[in-house]
Chain A
Amino acid sequence: MLQRQRQTKLAMREIAASKVSEIVSSLFQEACYHLPEDVLTALKQAKEKEKSPVARDALDKMLENVEISSKEQIPLCQDTGAAVVFLELGQEVHIFGGDLYAAVNEGVRQGYNQGYLRKSIVSQPFSARVNTKDNTPTIIYTDIVPGDKLKIAAMPKGAGAENMTKLAMLSPTSGRLGVIDFVVNAVDEAGSNSCPPVIVGVGIGGTVEKAMMLAKRALLRKVGEPHPDSEVTELEEEILRQVNNLGIGAMGYGGTVTALAVHAEVFPCHIASLPVAVNLQCWCARHEEAIL
């Protein structure tokens, strides 16, 4: 028994806290200068599909922006977000040389300073609202998973789309149609504010905070990557069809493409509940990840 414990201990993978800081710093800078390939492809497809010339012009400006940003290292959007980090920490990983969360915050501090990214976080949100000047504290979520790797996903989340978030505790009997109506209505009410064409993150089930986490995490999924459950895929397709029928279009100028994708994630829930969360992501859907 003792020997086995010792072997397990020897098998621990060592990752330096300073390495975590370095990666977090570069992930946020990369995310703010370069739009992910899948989102870029979806934007180009949106331009092909869009029937409104005014909306096509807005999409053109977005595509030009992506090029300029990448070439000249100017942030795609001046709102370089609240820094949200998702960690998947393998249970066989040992972080040495410092506190893991302090290392993440140090990475954000370095990245936002070195990368000329905007610092948008204020403390005491209900009163003084003083800028913390380094975009910390980071919003960190950690999952402990099997294995000896550390996966880090960085999402600079802008406030324009975030402020349009909606949450409902639906009656369970309202079912699929109730969910569709609620989500479509949320996108409709968000209108031009969320910088469409958006990615619609939907969380269905769990408890109130679980539903919102599912909606946020859904935004990390690659555009075009289908959900493994075909019933969920069908739900996503139906919501997308109805959202694009709203006519909001790019920047709300009117058009046929209001969303690039709908990503739903589901979780079992209480017999008396049907929580639904909608977290929108602007067209400038920035995120980067690395596996250590």
Chain B
Amino acid sequence: MAKKITLPLTKEALRDIRVGDTLLLTGIMYAARDVAHKRMVEALEQGKPLPLDISGQTIYYMGPSPARPGQPIGSAGPTTSGRMDSYSPRLIAEGLKGMIGKGMRSQPVKDAMKEYKAVYLGATGGAGARISKSIKKAEVIAYEDLETEALLHLEVEDFPAIVINDIYGGDLYEEGKAKYEVKT
């Protein structure tokens, strides 16, 4: 049974969700890929403000296909999270609480999640059409020159996700594999 969660993530929600939980997320999230991450971290290093108040927020690693007329967004599935690994710990230290994507994270990202109590959620890769149904509004808020890779503000309703890394150090990829691996 899926847990209904409101975004931005509350402290209670962060404490409550565990590895393997299926979630339905409703509220505000942002979409950014690696180039937008690079720009945000560079801004922080130069002491410049970020284009969003990142404290408590959730970033979805996604660059959509173009929206058809009348639609808020096109296909909108997750991209590979590993490309954000070198930037995520800095953003987590800055207050980022949720990340949504697909694929493995590096040890420094996992360490940062544990230290700052942030979570990593999985969305189904290749299921961009289905996921697009839960995105009600999408707006470019920065880095428009990056085309599909621009920074987006999203309003979502019942966005489907699964908990990969919780604040307790659990990891679905490791636990799931260990459970079904057949050693010969």
Residue numbers of A with Cβ under 8 A of B are 51-52, 54-55, 57-58, 61-62, 64-65, 68-69, 72-80, 116-120, 129, 131, 133, 158-160, 163, 191-193, 195, 242, 245-249, 251-256, 282-284
Contact = CB atoms under 8 A, between A and B. Distances in A.
Given A116-B68, A251-B125, A284-B126, A78 B76 contact: yes
A65 B131 CA distance: 8
B180 A247 contact: yes
Contacts of B179: 52, 247, 254
A133 B124 CA distance: 27
Nearest to B71: A74
Nearest to B149: A131
Contact of B181 (A55, A61, A120, A246): A246
Contacts, number: 170
Given A253-B162, A253-B173, A74 B132 contact: yes
B176 A254 contact: yes
A74 B176 contact: no
B80 A77 contact: no
Interface residues of B, number: 47
Contact of A283 (B126, B147, B178, B184): B126
Given A52-B176, A78-B63, 18 more contacts: A54-B162, A54-B172, A54-B176, A57-B22, A58-B124, A65-B127, A65-B131, A74-B129, A77-B126, A80-B75, A117-B65, A118-B66, A118-B75, A131-B147, A192-B103, A245-B184, A246-B177, A254-B176
B117 interface: no
Residue among A79, A116, A119 facing the most chain B CB atoms (10 A cut-off)? A79
Interface string B115-139: 0000000101111111111000000
A116 to B, nearest CB: 5
Contact of B122 (A52, A72, A251): A251
B102 interface: yes
Contacts of B132: 74
A78 B74 contact: yes
Which 3 pairs, one residue from A and one from B, show the smallest C-beta to C-beta distance? A254-B176, A247-B181, A284-B126
B74 A195 contact: no
Nearest to B184: A245
Given A160-B80, A251-B102, A252-B176, A118 B126 contact: no
A61 B160 contact: yes
Residue among A72, A74, A75, A120 facing the most chain B CB atoms (10 A cut-off)? A74
A64 B102 CA distance: 18
A288 B128 CA distance: 20
Given A54-B162, A62-B127, A254-B180, A80 B102 contact: no
Interface string B36-71: 000000000000000000000000001111111000
A283 B124 CA distance: 11
Nearest to A195: B125
Contact of A253 (B122, B126, B184): B122
22 contacts: A52-B176, A57-B22, A61-B127, A65-B129, A75-B74, A76-B128, A78-B63, A80-B65, A117-B66, A119-B147, A160-B79, A193-B103, A195-B102, A245-B182, A245-B184, A248-B177, A249-B177, A253-B162, A253-B172, A253-B173, A254-B177, A282-B126
A218 B22 CA distance: 36
Given A192-B102, A253-B172, A78 B177 contact: no
B148 A120 contact: yes
A282 B182 CA distance: 22
Contacts of B177: 191, 246-249, 252, 254
A119 B158 CA distance: 28
A113 B175 CA distance: 43
A80 B75 CA distance: 9
B27 interface: no
Contacts of B103: 160, 191-193, 252
Contact of A192 (B66, B76, B131, B173): B173
A252 B80 CA distance: 12
A196 to B, nearest CB: 9
A186 B127 CA distance: 24
B104 interface: yes
Contacts of B133: 68
